[in-house]
Chains A and B, each alone.
Chain A
């Protein structure tokens, strides 16, 4: 398996997109920290961009990579190697390389300009989001053999998590505004990894104190060790669920 991951990584590094991605994140982060003035402001702007671009790039890169290495996978399947091993190596290869790119591109500037717990949360969130969206990308790719369709599904997933979901939830919250919604909102946030990541970082920033009674309530939940642990556990679930179901499909499918 290690050997396989090594080959996948080598393949990814060779096609230079990952290097461009690293440079893009690096420039963006340094630029934002210089523009923002205070490190907190920089982190906030960075958070928004990370939560928009990282899922997009992860999901698009993941899908295209999967389709592009179809022939390689077919070759491997003819060897005495388990399918799940092939699948997991591909997955780990892609998500690890994207995470390393993120770690260098965003991690280094964050450690330089805004070291601390919040920066760490931002990094962890970014890495989790990378893993989650690569898993979703693989799920989209194993569903259909058609590359265009696969990328279409992947983009739709991104659209859903980054944009539509929040709109839907806000609409639901507005419609049921007369009911106590504190707990429901918490659950609804956990159903979208992007939101979960955003709230986790936001509530550990200074600004969280500004969010009034409800903000204080959520801060008491997410600020505690248990809350953070549960949030990250949910993130892990978000990685495992699409990944395992994609593996299942991949194992049974006629390639």
Chain B
């Protein structure tokens, strides 16, 4: 009995020692600072073995070409700055299971041949890039073939004033990756804020993408991704998504994307996707849809856009339900007569029907396409006559006796009152 308890105590003590000593077992900590053993991040990274932590203290390190070839954690304390001084790529991750956190990485020159980035991951998995600041670079964070990687809490800021599109890189560029998570980042001043190509089953949450020269978010051939609670603001051409299936876009905000070719959201060849609870505010075009089919566009707010929706006749079987259309110059415009699209239970502020049976559903159908919007679609210069009395008169007459506007584009059951979408989006997120 006594022996047994003694044995137990010894065992517990041994286990405790093992637990406490575990860092020593799994890896060393290599410190980098001016008074430490290592003065250079590059040197420390080269010496680090698998499982080590390289801890970099505050200060400016003028280095580039740092290559991580072991599964290590490279952690910055007190905001260390790695200044590439425009001499090529700064950090290249060539190992799986690497964690990179807490750095400011800056100054990468334009390189058309190599596409230099501040942080590049090439063909390795499970990389975590957290809470870094990337300033004045060509490409910011570049993931190629990096499955299950996390890019979270980073700030990527470029200098795009006076530059043209072709001399700029993307802030967060992801290529051929499965299961990436891009969240809580803030990207601005690049060509595209977030760029996805052949990226599947990934999550894009709560990012802010603004003032990029081209698109705030740009993806192609990227099926099965989820985009929630992002804000895309003042980008040169808004958000463009192409050739993709099975995406979910929820609770995003698209606002102030103005200009000759600016869209809140441009959809080209998108199918079987859900666009839910988004806000489109003050864009030249809220949603521009081309060759898109089987989309479910529900509970969105379209407020003060030039064109809320431009639905080209190549779109089929799209459903628009429970959306609010307020203060748009044109609610819906089209270039022909799209078929088999359903508008139902939307709120249109231009609707002037009545509701005799008080079921909150208008008794007469609403035609969101106005005659003038069709004229503008056909003859763009006639936009000069916007808000002319004649135009208003023409539209009113056409509404009463429709003869030119497409028969199929009609909301048979428009809502009489503005639909109250979940105002507290965070709460909904938690409930879900």
Binding site for B on A (CB under 8 A): 41, 44, 47-48, 51-52, 162-164, 166-167, 169-170, 173-174, 177, 181-182, 184-186, 189, 195, 198-199, 202, 206-207, 209-218
Given A209-B306, A216-B260, the answer on whether A47 and B387 have CB atoms closer than 8 Å is yes
Point out the residue from B260, B305, B327, B375 that lies within 8 Å of A170, measured CB to CB: B375
Give Cα A77 to B417, complex, Å: 66
A46 to chain B, nearest CB (A): 12
Chain A residues with CB below 8 A from B20, complex form: none
Q: Do residues B387 and A202 form an inter-chain contact, with CB atoms below 8 A?
A: yes
B382 touches A212 (CB 8 A): no
Known A-B contacts A173-B379, A177-B379; the reply to A212 vs B306 at CB < 8 A is yes
Other than A44-B387, A189-B384, A195-B388, give 8 A-B pairs with Cβ distance below 8 A.
Answer: A52-B389, A162-B389, A174-B375, A177-B378, A209-B284, A211-B284, A212-B306, A218-B383
Q: Which residues of B contact A198 (CB under 8 A)?
A: 387-388
Contacts A177-B378, A207-B329 given; indicate if A212 touches B387 (C-beta within 8 A): no
- Tell whether, in the assembled complex, residue B260 and residue A166 are in contact, meaning their CB atoms are under 8 Å apart: no
Known A48-B387, A163-B390, A166-B389; contact A212-B284, beta-carbon cutoff 8 A? yes
Given the known inter-chain contacts A174-B375, A207-B329, please indicate yes or no for A214 contacting B386, CB distance below 8 A.
Answer: no
Of the candidates A47, A162, A164, A166, the one whose C-beta lies within 8 Å of that of B391 is A166
Q: Are A209 and B259 in contact (CB under 8 A)?
A: yes
- A212, B383: Cβ atoms under 8 Å? yes
Complex Cα spacing A169 to B390, Å: 11
Instruction: Check A185 against B388 for contact (C-beta < 8 Å).
Output: no
Q: How far is the CA of A213 from the CA of B261 in the complex (A)?
A: 6
Judge if B385 is at the interface, Cβ distance under 8 Å: yes
Q: Which residue of A lies closest to B393 (CB)?
A: A163
Q: How large is the interface on B (under 10, 10 to 19, 20 to 34, 35 or more residues)?
A: 20 to 34
Contact residue among B306, B375, B378, B382 (Cβ-Cβ distance under 8 Å from A185): B382
CA distance A177 to B383 in the complex (A): 13
- The interface residues of chain A, by DSSP majority, are classed as helix
Contact A218 B389 (CB under 8 A): no
- Contact assessment for A210 and B306 in the assembled complex, using a CB-CB cutoff below 8 Å: yes
CB-contacts of B257-300 with A (<8 A): 258-261, 282-285
Residues in chain B near residue A52, CB distance under 8 A: 389
How far is it, in angstroms, between the C-alpha of A173 and the C-alpha of B283 when the chains are bound?
A: 27
Contact B261 A170 (CB under 8 A): no
User: What per-residue 1/0 map shows which CB atoms of B322-334 lie under 8 Å from chain A?
Assistant: 0000010100000
Q: A167 to B391, alpha carbons, bound, how many Å?
A: 8
Closest partner residue, chain B, to A47 (CB atom) = B387
Q: Which residue of A lies closest to B306 (CB)?
A: A210
**B372 CB to nearest A CB, Å:** 8
Q: Tell me the bound Cα distance from A28 to B379 in angstroms.
A: 35
B375, chain A: closest CB distance, angstroms: 6
Closest 10 CB pairs of A and B: A210-B306, A166-B390, A185-B381, A216-B260, A209-B258, A214-B380, A177-B379, A213-B260, A181-B381, A166-B388
Complex contact A212–B378 (CB within 8 A): no
Of A167, A182, A195, A207, which one neighbours B381 at CB under 8 angstroms? Answer: A182
Proximity string of chain B (234-254) to chain A, C-beta cutoff 8 Å, 1 when within and 0 when not? 000000000000000000000
| B307 at the binding interface (Cβ < 8 Å) | yes
A186 to B385, CA, bound (A): 11
Report chain B residues within 8 Å CB of A218.
Answer: 383-384
The interface residues of chain A lying within 8 Å CB-to-CB of B380 are 212-214
CA distance A48 to B304 in the complex (A): 19
A residues near B379, Cβ cutoff 8 Å: 173-174, 177, 181
Q: Which residues of B contact A44 (CB under 8 A)?
A: 387
The answer to whether B384 touches A199, judged by C-beta atoms less than 8 angstroms apart, is yes
Flag B344-383 by CB within 8 Å of A: 1 or 0 each: 0000000000000000000000000000000100111111
Cα distance A227–B70 in the bound complex, in angstroms: 63
Distance between Cα atoms of A252 and B116 in the complex (Å): 82
CB distance from A173 to the nearest CB of B (A): 5
B387 near A174 with CB under 8 A, answer no
Which residues of chain A have C-beta atoms less than 8 A from B329's C-beta? 207, 210-211
Task: Name the CB-closest residue of B to A44.
Answer: B387
- Closest Cβ of chain A to B331, distance in Å, is 13
User: By the criterion CB–CB under 8 Å, are A48 and B382 in contact?
Assistant: no
B387→A167 contact, CB < 8 A: no
Q: Which residues of A contact B283 (CB under 8 A)?
A: 210
Shortest Cβ distance from B208 into chain A, in angstroms? Answer: 22
Residues of B within 8 A of A199 (CB): 384
Expressed in whole angstroms, the Cα–Cα distance for A198 and B380 within the complex equals 18
B 376-411 contacts with A by CB, 8 A? 378-391, 393-394
Encode B64-84 as 1/0 by CB contact (under 8 A) with A.
Answer: 000000000000000000000
CA distance A195 to B391 in the complex (A): 12
Are A210 and B305 in contact (CB-based, < 8 A)? yes
Tell me, in angstroms, the Cα distance from A214 to B306 when the chains sit together. 12
Choose one: A169, A209, A210, A216; the contact of B385 (CB below 8 Å): A169
Which of A51, A167, A206, A211 lies in contact with B386, CB distance below 8 A?
A: A211
The residue among A170, A189, A210 with the most chain B CB atoms within 10 A of its own CB is: A210
Bound form: Cα–Cα A49–B245 in Å: 49
Q: How long is the Cα–Cα vector from A184 to B189 in the complex, in angstroms? A: 38
CB of A244 to closest CB in B, whole Å: 29
What chain A residues lie within 8 Å of B282 (beta carbons)?
A: 206, 210
Per-position contact with A for B302-319: 1 when CB-CB < 8 Å, else 0?
001111000000000000
Q: Is the beta-carbon distance between A214 and B381 smaller than 8 angstroms?
A: yes
Task: State A42–B219 Cα separation when bound (angstroms).
Answer: 40
Q: Across the interface, which residues of A come within 8 angstroms of B381, CB to CB?
A: 173, 181-182, 184-185, 214
